[in-house]
Amino acid sequence: MESATHWILTLVCPDRPGIVHAISGAIVDAGGNITESQQYSSDDTGTFFMRLQVESATGRAAFETAVASIAERYGMTWQLDVVGRPLRTLVLASTTAHALNDLLFRQRAGQLPIEVPLVLANHPDLEGLAAFSGVPFEWHPVTGPDEKAAFERRVLEAVEEHGIELVVLARYMQILSPGLCAALEGRAINIHHSFLPGFKGANPYKQAHARGVKLIGATAHFVTTDLDEGPIIEQNVERVDHNQSPEELRAIGQDIESRTLTRAVGWFAEHRVLLDGARTVIFR
């Protein structure tokens, strides 16, 4: 007898009555049992969002057939995946290690369902860190427009080559071109070192110090052409004090950045992040 598989099913469609009954019927038909379910109806966009975990001994094909007929009727965008399958993830990095270290450490510890076939950097500094985790590392200088264009072509090539499902900017200190942003829409996550929308742009810890804020933070968001304006996935803050220098704020901030980015990546890898216009729905 075939043993049961744990599936994740996510679906998005225009909101109307009967969706839950229809989809749960399809799951019953496919011999499945719903073990987790979350839903949300957006008043802003009139959209219905759902994430299900289903235990089922049925194979993928039968499951897909059952869902597809309902999906058609309700105009659903949907995705079916196996719980725990590691998401193929490309990491872009520069010189600071904390965000990359946290991602790779948790991946190795079995806490983050991703696999990283490549780290692409514009500096050589983090090669040892990648090597320690057994992750291929490649770097190219990005000092002028030609090198930048070449680097971005290499990103797209690597996405193709490795079947990349998510691109993570782990403190990659370059602004992506509008073309690359568009090509990676909805599958590239950046960590911004401030509590957005406060302190956009460069040097947020210096700005935070100058303004004398009492909490500093970090924001993980989708990459869009509007710099620092992409849909927010996760944010965290920590309390700070008048006697902390911009450098100390930076050190505290790096912890928040790592934690926030890793959490956002984990949620994305578990299909817990869905887009509702300029906002995200997070099914935790």
- Interaction mask 143-182, its own copies, x per CB under 8 A: ----------------------------------------
183 binds its own copies (CB under 8 A): no
Choices 66-74, 105-113, 140-148, 166-174 (CB under 8 A): range interacting with its own copies: 105-113
36 binds its own copies (CB under 8 A): yes
Residue with tokens 């965290």: 236
CA atoms within 13 Å, Cβ hemisphere of 196? 22
- Nearer CB in complex with its own copies: 83/149: 83
| Binding to its own copies, residues 260-279 (CB under 8 A) | 276, 278-279
- Nearer CB in complex with its own copies: 39/177: 39
CB atoms within 10 A of CB 20: 13
Of positions 5, 80, 105, 185, contacts its own copies by CB under 8 A? 105
125 binds its own copies (CB under 8 A): no
Which residue in 43, 228, 241, 276 is the catalytic one? 228
201 binds its own copies (CB under 8 A): no
Structural tokens at position 40: 């949300």
Task: Compute the Cα dihedral for 112, 115, 121, 127 and give only its sign.
Answer: positive
Angle, CA 163 vertex, CA 282 and CA 80 arms, to 5°: 45
What whole-number distance in Å separates Cα of residue 100 and Cα of residue 123? Answer: 14
Sheet holding 188-192, edge to edge: 137-139, 114-121, 87-93, 166-169, 188-192, 215-222, 232-239
To the query of whether residue 228 is one of the catalytic residues in this protein, the response is yes
What whole-number distance in Å separates Cα of residue 276 and Cα of residue 253? Answer: 28
- Interaction mask 40-79, its own copies, x per CB under 8 A: xx-x------------------------------------
Choices 75-83, 139-147, 173-181, 209-217 (CB under 8 A): range interacting with its own copies: 209-217
101 binds its own copies (CB under 8 A): yes
- Nearer CB in complex with its own copies: 27/142: 27
- Nearer CB in complex with its own copies: 184/218: 218
DSSP letter at 149 equals: H
What whole-number distance in Å separates Cα of residue 176 and Cα of residue 157? Answer: 15
214 binds its own copies (CB under 8 A): yes
| Strand blocks (E) in the chain | 5-14, 33-42, 47-56, 77-82, 87-93, 114-121, 137-139, 166-169, 188-192, 215-222, 232-239, 273-276, 279-282
CA 160 vs. chain centroid, Å, equals 18
Of positions 28, 82, 175, 182, contacts its own copies by CB under 8 A? 28
Phi, psi of 236 (to 5 degrees): -140, 155
What's the closest the beta carbon of residue 214 comes to its own copies, in angstroms?
A: 4
Binding site for its own copies (CB under 8 A): 16-18, 20-21, 24-25, 27-28, 32-41, 43, 97-98, 101, 105, 109, 111, 128, 132, 195-199, 210-215, 217, 231-237, 241-243, 245, 251, 255, 259, 276, 278-282
Catalytically active residues, by annotation: 228
